[in-house]
Amino acid sequence: MPLEDLMWVEKYRPSSLEDLVDQTAVKQRLMALLVKKGQLPHLLFAGPPGSGKTSTAVIIAKQILGEHWRDYTLSLNASDERGIDVVRERIKTFARFADRREGVPYRLVILDESDEMTSDGQTALRRIMEENSEHTRFILICNYSSGIIEPLQSRCVIFRFQRYDEASVTEHLKSISKKEKLRHQGDSVFAAIYEATQGDLRQAINTLQAASASGELTVESVKAVTGAAVKGRVGAVIEAALGGDFEAARTRMVELTRVYGIPERDFLKYAYETLGSMKGFDRARAVSIFAEYDFRLVQGSQPELQLAAMLAQLARLKKEG
Amino acid sequence: MVGNDEGKAKLALWLKKWKPGGRAALLVGPPGTGKTTTVHLVADDMGVQLVELNASDARTKDRLDKKLGEVIYSTSLLGKTMVFLDEVDGLAGRADYGAIDFIKDAVKKSENPVVMAANDPDSDQVKKLGSSVTKIEFRRADLQTVRQRLEAIARLEGVDFGPGEIEELARVANGDLRSAINALQAGIPARKDEELTASESINAFFDAIDEGAALAALKAYPGQPREKIRDLFTSVVRSGVHEERKSEALDVLSRADMLLGRMMRGKDWRLLRYLDPTLASELWRSLGDGGPKYTMDAVPWPLQLRIWNDSKRLKEIASAAGRRLAISQKGFMVEDMPFVLLLCSDGGFRESFVKSLNLDEGYGAFLAKEAARKTGR
Ligand SMILES: Nc1ncnc2c1ncn2[C@@H]1O[C@H](COP(=O)(O)OP(=O)(O)O)[C@@H](O)[C@H]1O
Ligand SMILES: [Mg+2]
């Protein structure tokens, strides 16, 4: 079985604009733009993870370029390939080739997580966009459009993808459950998945699949899975720290960053997100510790040291408590 | 300027003699041999204004034409002007298409002198320029010259070096004077006669009877500042020091690391002189009696082994799967891997997964182990 069928996020990836759940505003505007393929502007997709940005970009590529879309599409992921050199080399070489085949109006560059690119890289990109706009279009994808330099933004039409609400997520999960013939407890299960994944459809589908692996989908099996997901595990680290157990918190943090390769910046971000659902500590102090160490992490040279120092401060809240 | 006075003199002479229709000058030599600096110096000396384009500018034919056309084809009203194209061997074949031909043509017609620089004498671009240029060679400075220069800087900065250390630094730099000076500033060879091993120095710091002794111990540390902070950190964090003192000590180290980060980014090594005194007073004081002992590993041994053995495999899997699914390695690791590991406790899924990515069988066993760890079985 190919990977695409093995993982439900891929198996149920929408293959046309009509298949897209929700995102009505995005769909309508895109369909209007696609009427005149030849005049498509550069596009910027902004929105939270799992809101369908990458899927939509691929749909557009297929729709415009037809069956040979892979040959005329360059998909890059800026968090894997950052920096000005890659932009200059890979994109530039690709974008400069003017040759195309019948029915292929231009080449397409899809640059995912483009807000992770350095500003030098973005500046270089801007130039390449300008110089090649006759035969190459760009789709830039990011979480926050504020991470994209202004001159780039102003050359693109911006589409904002919304976080899915509970009703759409539930509906989508139910339709997958039906196709996979899952036995489940009913609505409480989907509520539990939504609660844990908050409108991130990728996470929701992953959770559904993992939680039903044992055969039965229950609230308990959902809870077991969400505890094992990255956010759940980061949450456990913070809970241990706030409970005063510095050493346990620290070694688990190191396991996540060094074994599972979660970047320290992301660790801090998830940790802060999980703080909201925790209780029994001086919230104002904790928030100011987060703020301080977020700054130090960016400034400093050794992220692991900075996170360890932060956990030690959080552990102290308990003692002073 | 050192070592390439000859190059400088040649360039000045070329410029003095230059007339419209004459050849361009091309300075050729490895990075760090002073080509760019020389052009600027000569231009300054002779009161010539530079119009400069380097590798970071897009240099297609059209661009060059737009930016340089005016200077090249007309006499300037502002006084003497010289065109400087740095790193011409960086002109990418397809990307900067037509640039070399444009340059050759421009050189022929130019009303103003054109000077270029390149690193690689054997590059296509340099070959293509052929007889339209007068080459001036820049060589790596010889050992003697680099050493003298480093000694002069060390004297000016008031830094002491042990016998043979500057010699060693000069040798390692292999004629790249710029990198040698950077290394010197970073304090890399700032070893003293009383140098200790890392563990002796760190232990002497923790055992010091007063701030003065603590400072001396830090100064005798053999490595770079970053390693020093790292060694202090691992020793403190693994020690049995009372929690409250420990969190205070970690706060000091965190601030020291922030200072270091700023210095590294700004290449502003002057601030380095505050590092040891800060650590000696604040860190040493925060620890009190019965301090830590030197430890190299930040985590217990079993976890250290896991970091070495398992993280690489997980990354390989994430990047293989990510490539297939058009998601980054990081994205797959964060968004999908935890679920995949859970699903891998099912033998059927695991086998299909390994097969679908063309991974060898070793990965199956590895994933089984990780899955068991995940599900807590
Ligand atoms: N609008 C949607 N309709 C149907 N499925 C969706 C939609 N948005 C996301 N998904 C599901 O979530 C997965 C992740 O979506 P993706 O396009 O990768 O999101 P993003 O790029 O915004 O992070 C897809 O494979 C698909 O299964
Ligand atoms: Mg995406």
Task: Tell me which residue of A246, A222, A220 sits closest to A316, measured CA to CA.
Answer: A246
The pLDDT assigned to B54 comes to 67
Please check the confidence at residue B50 and state whether its pLDDT lies above 80.
yes
Q: What is the pLDDT of residues A248-297, one digit of tens each?
A: 999 999 999 999 988 898 899 999 999 988 988 999 999 999 999 999 99
Handedness of CA B232, B236, B239, B241 (dihedral sign): positive
With a 6 A CB cut-off, is A129 part of the ligand 1 pocket?
A: no
What pLDDT digit, counting tens, does each position of B97-136 carry?
A: 677 888 888 888 888 899 999 888 888 888 888 888 999 9
B35: closest CA among B74, B103, B90?
A: B90
Instruction: Inspect the interface and report whether the beta carbons of B298 and A254 lie closer than 8 Å.
Output: yes
Say what the pLDDT of residue B46 is: 86
Q: How far is CA B83 from the centre of its chain?
A: 30
pLDDT over 60 at B171, yes or no: yes
The per-residue pLDDT of chain B, averaged, comes to: 83
The pLDDT value given to residue B222: 87
How confident is the model at residue B273, as a pLDDT?
85
* Ligand 1 nearest-atom number relative to CA A48: 22
- The atom of ligand 1 lying closest to the CA of A58 is 17
Interface of B with A in 353-372 (CB under 8 A): 353, 356-357
**B180 band by pLDDT with thresholds 50, 70 and 90:** confident
Say yes or no: B340 contacts chain A, CB-CB below 8 A. yes
Q: Which atom of ligand 1 is nearest to the CA of A49?
A: 23
The pLDDT, as a whole number, for residue A83 is 64
Q: Looking at the domain that runs over B5-137, which CATH code has it been given?
A: 3.40.50.300
C-alpha atoms less than 13 angstroms from C-alpha of B228 in its C-beta half-sphere: 24
Structure tokens at A310: 């932060």
Q: Give the span between the Cα atoms of B327 and A242, in whole angstroms.
A: 34
Q: How many angstroms separate the CA atoms of A42 and A299, rounded?
A: 34
Cβ–Cβ contacts within 10 Å for residue B332, how many? Answer: 21
Predicted confidence band at A89 (pLDDT cuts at 50, 70, 90)? confident
Question: Looking at residue B163, what is its pLDDT?
Answer: 62
Instruction: List the structure tokens of A269.
Output: 């971000």
pLDDT band for position B77 (50/70/90)? low
Q: Which pLDDT score, from 0 to 100, does residue B186 have?
A: 65
Question: A23-160: what fold?
Answer: Rossmann fold (3.40.50)
When pLDDT is cut at 50, 70 and 90, the band that residue B190 belongs to is very low
The Cα of A250 is separated from the nearest Cα of chain B by a number of Å equal to 9
Residues in the 5 Å CB sphere of ion ligand 2: A 54
Q: Give B264→chain A minimum CA distance, Å.
A: 8
Residues 6+ positions from A5 with CB-CB distance below 8 Å: A11
CATH T-level fold of A166-228: Helicase, Ruva Protein; domain 3 (1.10.8)
The end-to-end CA distance of chain A, in Å, is 54
Q: How do residues A185-232 score in pLDDT, each as one tens digit?
A: 889 999 999 999 989 999 999 999 999 998 889 999 999 999 888 989
- Ligand closest to Cα of B327 equals 2
pLDDT score at B60: 65
Task: Decide whether any atom of ligand 1 lies within 6 Å of the A53 Cβ.
Answer: yes
Residue A98 has pLDDT above 80, yes or no: no
Ligand index nearest the alpha carbon of residue A173: 1
Residue pLDDT, tens place only, B336-350: 999 999 999 999 999
Mean pLDDT value across residues B321-331: 83
Query: Torsion angle, CA of A46/A50/A54/A56, rounded to 10 degrees?
Result: -90
Q: Please state whether B34 falls in left (phi above 0), alpha (psi between -120 and 50) or beta.
A: left
User: Cα(A4) to centroid of ligand 2, in Å?
Assistant: 16
Average pLDDT over all residues of chain A: 90
- Distance from the alpha carbon of residue B375 to the mean position of ligand 1, in angstroms: 27
> Hey, is the C-beta of B261 within 8 angstroms of any chain A C-beta?
yes
Predicted confidence at residue B189, as pLDDT, reads 47
Between A260, A301, A308, which is nearest B261 by CB?
A: A301
Please report, rounded to a whole number, the percentage of residues in chain B having pLDDT higher than 70.
85
- Residue B158: is its pLDDT beyond 60? yes
User: Is pLDDT larger for residue B274 or for residue A308?
Assistant: A308
Contact A299 B229 (CB under 8 A): no
Ligand 1 contacts CB of residue A13 (under 6 A): yes
Residues B252 and B279: beta-carbon distance below 8 Å: yes
Q: Does the pLDDT of residue B166 top 80, yes or no?
A: no
Give the DSSP per-residue string, A112-150. Answer: ETGGGS-HHHHHHHHHHHHHTTTTEEEEEEES-GGGS-H
How much is the average pLDDT of A88-112? 79
User: Per residue in A285-295, is it b (16+ CB within 10 Å) or e — as a string?
Assistant: ebeebbeebbe
Note the pLDDT tens digit of each residue in B292-306. Answer: 999 988 998 888 888
Distance between Cα A117 and ligand 1 center (Å): 22
Span B239-245, average pLDDT: 92
Share of chain B above pLDDT 90, in %: 35
pLDDT of residue B95: 53
Query: pLDDT value at position B377?
Result: 52
Residue in A5, A7, A15, A97 to test binding to B, most B beta-carbons within 10 Å? A7
Least confident residue range of A6-15, A89-98, A148-157, B229-238: A89-98
Domain locations in chain A?
23-160, 166-228, 230-320
Q: How far is B70 from chain A (nearest CA, A)?
A: 21
**A203 alpha carbon to ligand 1 midpoint, in Å?**
10
A165 versus B64: the higher-pLDDT residue is A165
Q: Is B257–A79 a contact, with Cβ atoms under 8 angstroms apart?
A: no
Our CA angle for A157, A160, A162, nearest 5°, is: 165
Confirm or reject contact between B243 and chain A (CB < 8 A): yes
**pLDDT higher than 60, residue B148:** yes
Rounded to an integer, the average pLDDT of A65-77 is 85
Chain B residues closer than 8 Å to A96 by CB: 94-95, 97
Which of A236-245, B65-74, B91-100 is most confident? A236-245
Atom 9 of ligand 1: nearest residue by CA position: A52
* Domain A230-320 -> CATH class: mainly alpha
Q: What pLDDT score does A119 carry? A: 80
Ligand 1 nearest atom to the CA of residue A11, by list position: 27
CB of B330 closer than 8 Å to CB of A263: yes
Predicted pLDDT of residue A85:
72
Please report which helix (H) or strand (E) contains residue B52, including its range: strand B49-53
Query: Does residue B39 register a pLDDT over 60?
Result: yes
Give the mean pLDDT of A72-80. 82
Q: Is the CB of A55 under 6 A from ligand 1?
A: yes
